[in-house]
Amino acid sequence: MSPFLAELIGTLVLVLLGDGIVANVVLKQTKGHNSGWICITAGWALAVTVAVYCVNSVSGAHLNPAVTLGRASVGKLAWASVPSYLLAQMLGGILGGVLVWLAYFPHWAVTEDKGSKLAVFCTAPAIRHTGSNLITEILGTAILVFGVRAMLSPDNLLAASGWDKAFGPALVGLLVWSIGLSLGGPTGYAINPARDLGPRIAHACLPIAGKGDSDWSYAWIPVVGPIVGGVLGAFIYQLLFVH
């Protein structure tokens, strides 16, 4: 399998399972309707874990343009590889959104709220405040990239023992769960442009029963914020720990 295909499949799995838990919670007449924020954050953490396990050995399982650009900015990935990684991640995000639509097909028509339907595919702020929303996404993604580098560093006891190969993806999932529980409240913690923009494009294109608009006026924040945060997190770790 090529890194391109691995990133596409991994991001597809990530979005299918991650947006799937949101659909299960917010759409009407599902088995998990109204099960709450804990279920959403846990579901996303497990989605990340499964997706990383699926393709980590092939592409490093970035599954996130912010991670790819962060790693490239500190010399951990050749810039020549960046375009194919980003394209694969975006395509995976779109296809994952399409599969969630298919999986929950009867539930769109019985869900009246347009905002709930959009929330399955992408994030929206609890309180719309451009500066604060942007800062939240920057912080969340900086912690993601910094935390992954720290947990999987060769200087870390777990990595030094070789256990990171078995448990690394699970640790990444726990980190995403922590970010969701602690920093997810203001914006829904996109922390991944492909996870937000890809499914948002799917929402705009799909014939979803009773859907509203795709909130394009907000869409730049979960793209720009994570990219800035990813590069920032990578640089801070490099500055503090790499000699």
According to the model, what pLDDT value does residue 166 have?
77
State mean pLDDT over 102-107.
Answer: 98
CA distances 28 to 23, 34, 35, 116, 189, Å, are: 9, 9, 12, 9, 23
d(CA 25, CA 37): 9
pTM comes to 0.96
Burial class (CB in 10 A: 0-12, 13-18, 19+), 213: exposed
CA 88 to chain CA centroid, nearest Å: 14
107-136 pLDDT tens trace? 999 999 999 999 999 999 999 999 999 999
Residue 162, pLDDT above cutoff 80: no
According to the model, what pLDDT value does residue 164 have?
62
Sign of CA dihedral 82, 58, 154, 176: positive
Q: Is 172 helix (H, G, I), strand (E, B) or coil?
A: helix
d(CA 166, CA 13): 19
d(CA 9, CA 189): 22
d(CA 93, CA 97): 6
Tally of domains within the chain: 1
d(CA 129, CA 221): 11
According to the model, what pLDDT value does residue 160 have?
58
Give the list of residues 6+ apart from residue 114 with CB closer than 8 angstroms, or none: 210, 211, 212
Confidence band, pLDDT 50/70/90 cuts, at residue 102 = very high
Q: Which CATH number is 173's domain given?
A: 1.20.1080.10
Sign of CA dihedral 57, 137, 18, 122: negative
d(CA 200, CA 25): 18
Q: How many CB atoms lie within 10 A of CB 54?
A: 18
Give the list of residues 6+ apart from residue 94 with CB closer than 8 angstroms, or none: 198, 199, 201, 202
State mean pLDDT over 196-225.
Answer: 97
On whether the CB atoms of residues 96 and 11 are closer than 8 A, the answer is: yes
Q: Which domain holds residue 174?
A: 3-241
d(CA 50, CA 188): 21
